[in-house]
Structure 1
Amino acid sequence: MTGKFNFDKSDFFEWTLRTTIRRQIRNGLRGVWVRGGLPAGAAVLAPSHQSWWDGYALREVAWQLGQPFGVLMSERQLTTFPFLRLIGAIGAHELRPALRLLQAGSWVVVFPEGRIETPGKVRRVQAGAAWLAGASGAALIPVALRVVLRGQPRPEAYMRFGQAVSGPDLPEALQAELELLDAELLGSDPEQPLAGYLRFVGGPSGRDGQPDLAARWLAQLTREI
């Protein structure tokens, strides 16, 4: 009796990539925290963009929710990292695939600044996010996103989801959400997570801010000198 083992390479590669990225997030970040109303179903998310982690952190939130997801990336990035298509990346000019994703109920992330910017005020807002929302009828959601190193060894990702807005109101709404998030960070205890935010992703097990085994051993030795 013989049988055939069906092996789908694309499924295997997608699973491997998803597992690798989720491990990177858990090892590289102390956590991912979210505040605000998360859209149910189709939405164009328009986040600020100041960190390499931004796309990964948003993708992880979607994975946690079981929410279909796409993110627009530059052609240069997709040429360098074509495997990211397996987890939802599409070219910045591939508008028909983006619209199909929205019509199927996905979140589609469009970084309206168009590139990673230094932290601070929103410097520019391109028209792509508003156009996709208008063409698809999906909600347009400003998202303030900061990945910050505070009072712990690893950085923390914070997302503040705003209310749905019209295209012309996006620049002002995104700036307002960023100012609220920055004020919360400025007024907080840097050794504690921000109050009012839900922790979606935790880092490695263990107590935050506690010395590891080697540090405790050295501390014990120095106390005995």
Structure 2
Amino acid sequence: MSAPDPAAALLRATIRRSVRRGLGGVWLRGPLPPAGAVLAPNHHTWWDGYVLGEVAWTMGAEFRVLMTGQQLARFPFLRRVGALGAAELRAAVRAARSGAWVVVFPEGAIFPAGPLHALHPGAGWLARRANVPLIPVALRVVLRGGQFPEAYVRCGRATEPTRLREALARELAVLDTELSASDPHSPLAGYLRVTGGRTSDAERLHLPGRLLARLTGDRP
């Protein structure tokens, strides 16, 4: 058994604190893999890796995420919390086989929110090589009725590599429909709140504002 890594623990705590301070919360829906798996999400915001790491750590799962060599060269310390280079496929296969959730962004880069771009085959290849489920994951970090963005993660059922695009597009379309049809001041129905986040000034001022209105006789 390897000794605890204090630097890794500190970095993980820093990332998780960043999620709680920068977002209004993280919500999750869908079946989660009980053991090793390859998670294949869309990639439309800077927050995506942090959000999926937060979900994995909250659920007690080992977390790995493939990053480009350029990104990893800029942030090499992220290796301590599960980052692997995109070319480190053998290490990714070993991690998935040993029970980790390995995140592979099949679009290969961050794109503006919208329809899926072309998908690379790496996620499917990795899942097949490691003999673990391939999970399509729809992910949106959106500014709704509050002051801070909210992250919503929708996990689909395991799919075959040849059907990943279809499965991921379907989950993303459902999530976008749910967001567009929802009350922006309330979390999406049916989603589990994984992590709390920052509250808007309007929420914090609601009770004192009501008390002040009562004292002054003001009415809305």
Same fold (TM over 0.5): yes
Q: How does 1:99-110 map to 2 (within 5 A)?
A: 99-110=93-104
Between the aligned partners of 2:87 and 2:212, the Cα distance in structure 1 is 55
Contact 2:148 2:199 in 1 (8 A): no
Gaps of 5+ in 2: none
1:87 aligns with 2:81: yes
**2:134 equivalent to 1:140:** yes
Matches within 5 A, 1:181-200: 181-200=175-194
- Partner residue of 1:121 out of 115, 126, 132: 115
In 2: Cα distance, 1:214 partner to 1:184 partner: 33
Q: Deviations over 1:74-130 (max 9, x none)?
A: 000000000000000000010010011011111100000000111111011100000
1:67 to 57, 61, 71: 61
Q: Is 2:171 aligned against 1:180?
A: no
Gaps spanning 5+ residues in structure 1: where?
1-7
> In structure 1, how many angstroms separate the alpha carbons of the residues matched to 2:147 and 2:156?
29
CA RMSD after TM alignment: 2.7
Residues 66 and 104, structure 2, Cα contact 8 Å, conserved in 1: yes
Partner of 1:30: 24
| Matching residue's letter, 2:39 | L
Partner of 1:153: 147
Residue 21 of structure 1, aligned match among 15, 22, 32: 15
The count of aligned residue pairs is: 217
Write the letter of the residue equivalent to 1:73.
Answer: M
- For the Cα contact (< 8 Å) 1:153–1:209, is it kept in 2? no
Q: What's 1:58 paired with? A: 52
- The CA distance in 2 between the partners of 1:31 and 1:208, in whole Å, is 16
Q: Give the drift of 1:211.
A: 2.6
One-letter code aligned to 1:168? T
Cα distance between partner residues in 1 of 2:117 and 2:80: 31
Q: Secondary structure at the match of 2:90?
A: helix
Post-superposition shift, 1:209? Answer: 3.0
Report the alpha carbon displacement of residue 19 of structure 1 after superposing the two structures with TM. 1.0
Indicate the SS of the match to 1:163: coil
Q: Is the contact made by 2:30 and 2:154 (CA closer than 8 Å) also made in structure 1?
A: yes
Larger mean CA deviation between 207-216 and 155-164 belongs to 207-216
Give me the whole-angstrom Cα distance separating, in 1, the residues matched to 2:72 and 2:4. Answer: 17
3-state SS, counterpart of residue 199 of structure 1: strand
Scaled by the length of structure 2, the TM-score of the pair is: 0.91
Contact 2:41-2:103 within 8 A present in 1 as well: yes
Structure 1 counterpart of 2:108, one-letter code: G
CA distance in 2, matches of 1:29, 1:99: 32
Could you give the per-residue CA deviations for residues 27-72 of structure 1, whole angstroms, max 9, x where no partner exists? 1111100000011101000001111111001001111111011000
Deviation track 1:134-161 (CA, whole Å, cap 9, x = no partner) reads 1111100000000000000010000100
Structure 1 stretch 204-213 or stretch 183-192: which is displaced more?
204-213
SS at match of 1:86: helix
Is the aligned partner of 1:166 residue 2:157? Answer: no
